[in-house]
Structure 1
Amino acid sequence: MQILVADDHKLVRDGLRPFLHELDPAVEVLDAATLGEALVMVDNTPGLGLVLLDLMMPGMDGLSGLQQIKTKIPNIPVVIVSGFSSRDHVVAAVQAGAAGFIPKTVSGTAMVNALRLVLSGETYLPSSTFFEDATAQMPATPTKPVGAPPPFDRLSRREGEILAQLVEGRTNKEIAIALSLQEITIKVHLRNVYRKIGAANRAQAVRIALQSGWIMPPVIN
């Protein structure tokens, strides 16, 4: 089987690869970094069996990119893999033809199980999305994440925010802009993150976060 991973962040594409091989060791993983590249791949890959698609990839224009791909391959499942997993995003994507919606913060095991469900003909929806209204009411005071599993309980709130951005495939510069920090500050925080969770580099940090199922939790006073 051939699986197309369409995401503009190479770190994310590389991070997903080992989990896709758990589905089938013989699977061939194809890459695309823009919607245009993905459409070309779809047109030229007759053995395509699954597409993983990032909603924020260049050229997507919201759900328009998903609809373009589904027009070309109506009988092949397309799963959204995104850092944005609000209820509105999930429902809209499924209504537009997605066979599932997987947050980038799920564990590797959960992702493999979700993709197996999709390949069996079912639709996968993240149950956590439908409890977000409750968690949104919890007070958010930045100090340290509460309830994070080891070794993530060692991270400060800021380190957790930076790791979450890293999991979404952002570069140091993009993280710095998103958090209104200097890029050198991001590098210092990342060194601390690597040390605390036992990662040698950013790719390994993403792998550890995905495999553990870590998600940036709400904090309480």
Structure 2
Amino acid sequence: MQILVADDHNLVRDGLKPFLYELDPDAKILDAANFDDALTQAKTASQLGLVLLDLKMPGMNGLQGVEVMRRLHPTVPVVILSGHVERNEVLAAVRAGAAGYIPKTISGTALTNALRLVLAGESYLPPSILLDSGPVERKAAMTPLSSLSVREREILGYLIEGETNKEIARRLDLQEITIKIHLRNVYRKIGAVNRAQAVRIAMSAGWPIAPAST
């Protein structure tokens, strides 16, 4: 599989490569520093399986770059990389055809999980966006995740990002025992027996597409 990584920062492109090789050790990584170069490489790529585009790199023209890339390779998932997350921008990316919107602040574990989800034909959006009450244009269906409360979904999101109970507790300003109680409820609701199985169930159910219960 060929993976196209387009970002105007060398450090970002080089930093992504180890995680992309986790997806496919035999992957051929194509990199570009601007959209014009990315488009040139995409036109000649015969086994392109994934495209990562920096939202702010030269030549992107906002989300027009996503639309152009989708027209060129309609079946290849295009994922936006961004240094910040704004709900309206994320929704606009979805409307433009992006299969995912990944913040550059995401952990390596969360990145590979997100990209595996995208390669499986699902969508990935930042958990913070999903906790917003407004609509998101994605595949929606009743799944094991649908019964989770907002807090449980929030904790599950951090779990998927690879954070420990202590890290989640610190982030949410809660006691670690409270996190453990929430996780037990999550496991019970989705039918998991441990953290690893919870992550697998969430991903196979299309995390993060299910609506949270109130």
Answer whether TM exceeds 0.5 for this pair. yes
Equivalence for 1:118: 118
Tell me whether 7-16 or 62-71 shows the greater mean CA deviation.
62-71
Counterpart residue type for residue 32 of structure 1: A
State the distance in 1 between where 2:71 and 2:10 align: 26
Whether 2:21 is the aligned partner of 1:59: answer: no
Query: TM-score when scaled to structure 1?
Result: 0.59
Equivalence for 2:13: 13
State the distance in 2 between where 1:75 and 1:118 align: 12
Counterpart residue type for residue 51 of structure 2: V
Counterpart residue type for residue 53 of structure 2: L
SS of alignment partner, residue 129 of structure 2: helix
Aligned-pair distance for 1:53? 0.5
Counterpart residue type for residue 122 of structure 1: E
CA deviations over 1:159-183 (Å, ceiling 9, x no partner): xxxxxxxxxxxxxxxxxxxxxxxxx
SS of alignment partner, residue 57 of structure 2: coil
- The percent of aligned pairs where both chains have the same amino acid is 60
Aligned-pair distance for 1:89? 1.2
Equivalence for 2:47: 47
State the distance in 2 between where 1:50 and 1:120 align: 11
SS of alignment partner, residue 67 of structure 1: helix
Counterpart residue type for residue 61 of structure 2: D
State the distance in 2 between where 1:71 and 1:55 align: 18
CA deviations over 1:6-34 (Å, ceiling 9, x no partner): 00100000010000011111111110111
Aligned-pair distance for 1:78? 0.3
State the distance in 2 between where 1:30 and 1:19 align: 14
Where in structure 2 are there 5+ consecutive unaligned residues?
Answer: 134-165, 168-214
Equivalence for 1:82: 82
Tell me how large the CA RMSD over aligned residues is. 1.8
Please show how residues 167-186 of structure 1 align to structure 2 within 5 Å.
none
Counterpart residue type for residue 15 of structure 2: G
Counterpart residue type for residue 119 of structure 1: L
Query: TM-score when scaled to structure 2?
Result: 0.61
State the distance in 1 between where 2:61 and 2:3 align: 23
SS of alignment partner, residue 106 of structure 2: coil
SS of alignment partner, residue 124 of structure 1: coil
State the distance in 2 between where 1:123 and 1:132 align: 17
Aligned-pair distance for 1:131? 4.4
State the distance in 2 between where 1:46 and 1:89 align: 31
Counterpart residue type for residue 7 of structure 1: D
Whether 2:98 is the aligned partner of 1:98: answer: yes
Equivalence for 1:28: 28
**Larger RCO (CA under 8 A, 6+ residues apart):** 1
CA deviations over 1:74-130 (Å, ceiling 9, x no partner): 110000111121111111001100011111111100000000000000011111234
